[in-house]
Structure 1
Amino acid sequence: MLQLVNLSNYSTDLVLIRNDAAELQAFLQRNGLDGLEMMFCDSWDPSIHRLEWIHGVHLQFWPSWLDFWRGDYQELLRQFGSRANIIASYGGLKREDWLNRQRANIRQAREAQAKYLVWHVCHNRLEEIFDWRFSASDREVVDGAIEVINEVADEIPADMTLLLENLWWPGMTLRDPGIIARLLEKIRHPRLGIMLDTGHLMNTNQDLRSQAEGIEYVLHTIDSLGEYSRSIHGIHLHYSLSGPYIRQTRGWNRQSCSLEESISHVLKIDQHLPFTDSQVCRILDRVRPEWLVHEFVQKSAGDWEEKVVRQQRALGLRHLKGDETHE
């Protein structure tokens, strides 16, 4: 099992590492990490994010895409307000424009020699993140995702694993083995599997009150997948206990809001907190993943390191020289 952390080459993440490869290298070595799961938001600079550190690439994500894929231009105008905004989001007005953006992102992953890709299987319109009144079913989202992925699958090398990630919006939530079966059977790629996101899974149950309950819920869900649990090759490890916030805000009417407001709302649901309960080891024991990603929202370099350290201690993985608090 390789221990990784998530990172992007977006400006805020460059500030996090002071735009310095030596700073990043020291962070990885100090915390016994094997490397990165990268997200490329711009051109890749291998002098900063070195090739030898990149094991996976999280592909760019469009939360709302099904209406574009279906060619529902009137609905897109309602959501985005103008033709220019639609083009800015998808790269054009035609399917091929958007697909070419995705192909370019996959080519970046190939250049970085990533071993795996991560693809979110999810869709929701902007107002639906507030009111939870969804316009598409899990099956509709999954069938659309299969079409999209198969259009760009030829860009993915045969020896690069494509991992499908669960979310709590319509799509692949991991609550329906039939949905997983459909994805694994219909997507045309020889190396296909699941990236289990523990926090996203916990967001599907607003009754969870503790890490312990969340761990049991994750384990129960894994068991309910039956044979498909063997397709879990990676874990995005973190937790969310956002049930009280969801119950407070669910049903909000937000026909329009700023990008900052929507991001703030989503992050209050998807908390990305480090596990501190040592029972989290049971998840790793059950799955035995190839890739373990300590996935957090990094507020600062110090905050990032503190979260990694706390979760590693819970997992019993903090055996590093100089870690004075390890017993």
Structure 2
Amino acid sequence: MRFLLNISTHANDVELAGPGWEHAAALLRETGFEGFELYPVGGYEFSRIPASLVGGVHLRFFVMLRQIWQNDYQGLLRLFDTDENIRMYYGGSTREAVISCYRDQLELARSFGVPYVVFHPVHYELEYVFNWQPPWTWQETVDLSAEVISEALRESDYEGWVLFENLWWPGNFRLDSTREIDRLLERVNYERCGIVLDTAHVFNKNQDIRTEEEAVSFLLEEVDALGEYRKLIRAVHLCKSLSGQHVRAGMRAPDPFRGAETFWDRFSIALDHVRNIDTHDAFDHGAIAGLFDRISPEHVVFEFSFRSMEEWRSKIDRQVRALGDVFRQGGERNS
């Protein structure tokens, strides 16, 4: 197993990485990790990143895809209020903006020589972020997502793995059953496909979880239910989120967007809510090591949120301790 850390080209992450990414390189050396799964944000000069530091690429998470993919301009205006907002969010107002973004990022992944990219099979809209009652099915989302990624891959020179990541919202790719995997892989026009299992996103499905031990027990049950499909899990986003109480409070909120006058006001409220659902914390309990008795991923990403190098190191240290021999043996195999 290759152990990676997550990083983006958002300003705060870039500042921590250092002007020539020397601080990022030092962090890898000091912690024993092999590289970063990079979330590329537009406007950054990616040539400044040493290719040796990049072990995977997480493709753009647009979240709202149906209306722009169908070139439904009126539907986009309903979501975004103005043409300017649409263009600011997608980089254009037609599906070509989405295709162009993904093809550029696939080319970036090819240029870095990474073995995999991550893609979210998702469609969600702000008005359902709190109540979790979207009027569409997971089948519709899977079909839409398969169209998007297949079109992006067409005429792309990227030849690595495309790994599909689970989310927690109903009406999306949640790994609730192997039928989701079958439907997605049958419709994606690309051979090298697999799964990236996000552990926190599994927890977020279950609002009854109270403790880390309960969370890991639920995770192992969900993974066991996949049976032979577990072999498709080529990467893991390893992090913790115990946010059931926050989710339930959001579901009870009578008017969560009250006072929000613009799309960006609504977007900010929804984003804060999502960050409190998906906290990207570290595991502390050694039970999480049991996950790797069931699966043998090639890549394990410590996917954390952090505001400082001190917070980042603390989360890394906590989760390394929780994994124990799993981390040590992984490092020994790769040395």
With the shorter chain as reference, the TM-score category is over 0.9
TM-score by length of 2: 0.90
**Quick one: distance in 2 between partners of 1:315 and 1:46?**
34
**What residue is the counterpart of 1:75 in the other structure?**
75
**Quick one: distance in 2 between partners of 1:46 and 1:83?**
32
Query: Are 1:303 and 2:316 an aligned pair?
Result: no
Matching residue's letter, 1:142:
V
**What residue is the counterpart of 2:128 in the other structure?**
128
Displacement after TM superposition at 1:116 (Å): 0.3
**Quick one: distance in 2 between partners of 1:2 and 1:101?**
28
**What residue is the counterpart of 1:65 in the other structure?**
65
Displacement after TM superposition at 1:288 (Å): 1.3
Moved more, 93-102 or 160-169: 93-102
Matches within 5 A, 1:122-201: 122-157=122-157, 159-169=159-169, 170-201=171-202
Moved more, 246-255 or 197-206: 246-255
**Quick one: distance in 1 between partners of 2:226 and 2:147?**
24
Matches within 5 A, 1:88-99: 88-99=88-99
How big is the alpha-carbon RMSD for the aligned residues of Structure 1 and Structure 2? 1.8
**Quick one: distance in 2 between partners of 1:175 and 1:216?**
16
Matching residue's letter, 1:211:
E
SS in 2 for 1:127: helix
Paired residues in the alignment total 319
Displacement after TM superposition at 1:100 (Å): 1.2
Q: Is the 8 A contact 1:86 1:93 kept in 2?
A: yes
**Quick one: distance in 2 between partners of 1:155 and 1:243?**
43
SS in 2 for 1:264: helix
Regions of 4+ moved over 4 Å: 155-158
Displacement after TM superposition at 1:64 (Å): 1.0
SS in 2 for 1:36: strand
**Quick one: distance in 2 between partners of 1:44 and 1:314?**
36
Matches within 5 A, 1:27-42: 27-42=27-42
| Structure 1 gap ranges (5+) | 320-327
Displacement after TM superposition at 1:101 (Å): 1.7
Query: Are 1:211 and 2:212 an aligned pair?
Result: yes
| Structure 2 gap ranges (5+) | 329-335
**Quick one: distance in 2 between partners of 1:75 and 1:203?**
29
Displacement after TM superposition at 1:88 (Å): 2.0
Matching residue's letter, 2:247:
I
Query: Are 1:313 and 2:321 an aligned pair?
Result: yes
Query: Are 1:266 and 2:274 an aligned pair?
Result: yes
**Quick one: distance in 2 between partners of 1:75 and 1:104?**
26
Task: Provide Cα deviations, 1:58-116, integer angstroms capped at 9, x if missing partner.
Answer: 00111111122233322221210012211222222222232112111211111111110
**Quick one: distance in 2 between partners of 1:173 and 1:282?**
21
Task: Provide Cα deviations, 1:31-56, integer angstroms capped at 9, x if missing partner.
Answer: 01011100111344344x31112110
SS in 2 for 1:71: coil
Displacement after TM superposition at 1:119 (Å): 0.2
**Quick one: distance in 2 between partners of 1:172 and 1:148?**
14
Task: Provide Cα deviations, 1:122-146, integer angstroms capped at 9, x if missing partner.
Answer: 1110121122221321111101001
**Quick one: distance in 1 between partners of 2:293 and 2:53?**
25
**Cα distance change of structure 1 residues 236 and 155 upon mapping to structure 2, 3 Å threshold:** farther
Q: Is the 8 A contact 1:166 1:173 kept in 2?
A: yes
Q: Is the 8 A contact 1:132 1:251 kept in 2?
A: no
Q: Is the 8 A contact 1:158 1:190 kept in 2?
A: no
Q: State the percentage of identical aligned residues.
A: 35
Query: Are 1:248 and 2:249 an aligned pair?
Result: yes
Query: Are 1:294 and 2:302 an aligned pair?
Result: yes
Matching residue's letter, 2:67:
D
Displacement after TM superposition at 1:251 (Å): 4.3
**Quick one: distance in 2 between partners of 1:17 and 1:56?**
17
**Quick one: distance in 2 between partners of 1:229 and 1:65?**
28
Displacement after TM superposition at 1:159 (Å): 3.6
Q: Is the 8 A contact 1:122 1:171 kept in 2?
A: yes
TM-score by length of 1: 0.92
**Quick one: distance in 2 between partners of 1:263 and 1:165?**
19
**What residue is the counterpart of 1:322 in the other structure?**
none
Q: Is the 8 A contact 1:207 1:243 kept in 2?
A: yes
Matching residue's letter, 2:178:
P
SS in 1 for 2:294: helix
